[in-house]
Amino acid sequence: MTTATKPTPLPLRNATLLGVCEAIGQDFGINALWLRLAFIGPLFFQPVLTIGVYFGLGVLVAATRYFLPRQVVEADVIDLPAKPVAAQAEEQLQIAA
Protein backbone atom coordinates (compact mmCIF):
# COMPACT_ATOMS: atom_id res chain seq x y z
CA MET A 1 0.00 0.00 0.00
CA THR A 2 1.49 3.35 -0.98
CA THR A 3 0.49 6.84 0.02
CA ALA A 4 1.59 10.09 -1.54
CA THR A 5 1.38 13.36 0.30
CA LYS A 6 1.69 16.52 -1.71
CA PRO A 7 3.70 19.19 0.12
CA THR A 8 2.34 22.71 0.47
CA PRO A 9 3.91 25.03 -2.11
CA LEU A 10 6.54 27.37 -0.63
CA PRO A 11 4.76 30.66 -1.40
CA LEU A 12 1.60 29.45 0.36
CA ARG A 13 3.24 28.51 3.67
CA ASN A 14 2.55 30.77 6.63
CA ALA A 15 6.16 31.40 7.67
CA THR A 16 7.58 32.38 4.27
CA LEU A 17 7.63 35.39 2.01
CA LEU A 18 7.60 33.84 -1.47
CA GLY A 19 9.79 31.01 -0.13
CA VAL A 20 12.87 32.30 -1.94
CA CYS A 21 15.48 31.51 0.70
CA GLU A 22 13.97 28.13 1.51
CA ALA A 23 13.76 27.14 -2.17
CA ILE A 24 17.35 28.20 -2.88
CA GLY A 25 18.45 26.42 0.29
CA GLN A 26 16.73 23.20 -0.80
CA ASP A 27 18.25 23.39 -4.26
CA PHE A 28 21.82 24.02 -3.10
CA GLY A 29 21.77 22.23 0.27
CA ILE A 30 22.19 25.40 2.34
CA ASN A 31 20.31 26.21 5.52
CA ALA A 32 17.65 28.81 4.67
CA LEU A 33 18.44 30.72 7.87
CA TRP A 34 21.91 31.64 6.52
CA LEU A 35 20.36 32.93 3.32
CA ARG A 36 17.86 35.02 5.25
CA LEU A 37 20.65 36.48 7.33
CA ALA A 38 22.55 37.29 4.13
CA PHE A 39 19.57 39.36 2.95
CA ILE A 40 19.29 41.30 6.21
CA GLY A 41 22.72 42.97 6.01
CA PRO A 42 22.30 44.67 2.62
CA LEU A 43 18.74 45.60 3.54
CA PHE A 44 20.06 48.37 5.80
CA PHE A 45 22.37 49.88 3.17
CA GLN A 46 20.47 49.36 -0.10
CA PRO A 47 16.85 48.52 0.78
CA VAL A 48 15.38 49.12 -2.67
CA LEU A 49 18.05 47.08 -4.43
CA THR A 50 17.85 44.26 -1.86
CA ILE A 51 14.06 44.03 -2.11
CA GLY A 52 14.30 44.15 -5.91
CA VAL A 53 16.83 41.32 -5.94
CA TYR A 54 14.69 39.30 -3.52
CA PHE A 55 11.56 39.64 -5.66
CA GLY A 56 13.60 38.96 -8.81
CA LEU A 57 14.84 35.74 -7.24
CA GLY A 58 11.23 35.02 -6.27
CA VAL A 59 10.18 35.23 -9.91
CA LEU A 60 13.11 33.04 -10.93
CA VAL A 61 12.30 30.43 -8.27
CA ALA A 62 8.61 30.47 -9.21
CA ALA A 63 9.46 29.99 -12.89
CA THR A 64 11.84 27.10 -12.22
CA ARG A 65 9.37 25.41 -9.86
CA TYR A 66 6.58 25.83 -12.41
CA PHE A 67 8.48 24.60 -15.48
CA LEU A 68 10.67 22.04 -13.68
CA PRO A 69 8.58 20.65 -10.80
CA ARG A 70 10.19 18.33 -8.28
CA GLN A 71 9.31 14.68 -8.56
CA VAL A 72 7.21 13.46 -5.64
CA VAL A 73 8.41 10.10 -4.40
CA GLU A 74 5.72 7.82 -3.12
CA ALA A 75 6.51 6.34 0.27
CA ASP A 76 5.81 2.69 0.94
CA VAL A 77 3.81 1.99 4.08
CA ILE A 78 5.49 -0.65 6.22
CA ASP A 79 3.22 -3.04 8.09
CA LEU A 80 4.47 -3.34 11.65
CA PRO A 81 4.18 -6.67 13.47
CA ALA A 82 1.22 -7.08 15.79
CA LYS A 83 3.47 -8.07 18.72
CA PRO A 84 6.26 -5.93 20.11
CA VAL A 85 9.78 -7.07 19.27
CA ALA A 86 10.52 -8.00 22.89
CA ALA A 87 7.47 -10.28 22.99
CA GLN A 88 8.54 -11.94 19.74
CA ALA A 89 12.05 -12.53 21.07
CA GLU A 90 10.67 -14.03 24.28
CA GLU A 91 8.37 -16.31 22.29
CA GLN A 92 11.28 -17.46 20.14
CA LEU A 93 13.32 -18.23 23.26
CA GLN A 94 10.47 -20.32 24.67
CA ILE A 95 10.21 -22.23 21.40
CA ALA A 96 13.98 -22.82 21.38
CA ALA A 97 13.92 -24.19 24.92
Query: What stretches of 1-97 adopt beta strand conformation (E)?
Result: 2-3, 75-76
37-65: per-residue pLDDT in tens? 998 999 999 999 999 999 999 899 888 88
90/85 Cα distance (integer angstroms) = 9
Mean pLDDT of 11-32: 78
Question: How far is 71 from 46, CA to CA, in rounded Å?
Answer: 37
When pLDDT is averaged across residues 76-95 and rounded to a whole number, the result is 67
pLDDT value, residue 46: 93
Domain boundaries, the chain: 8-71
Mean of pLDDT values over 70-78: 68
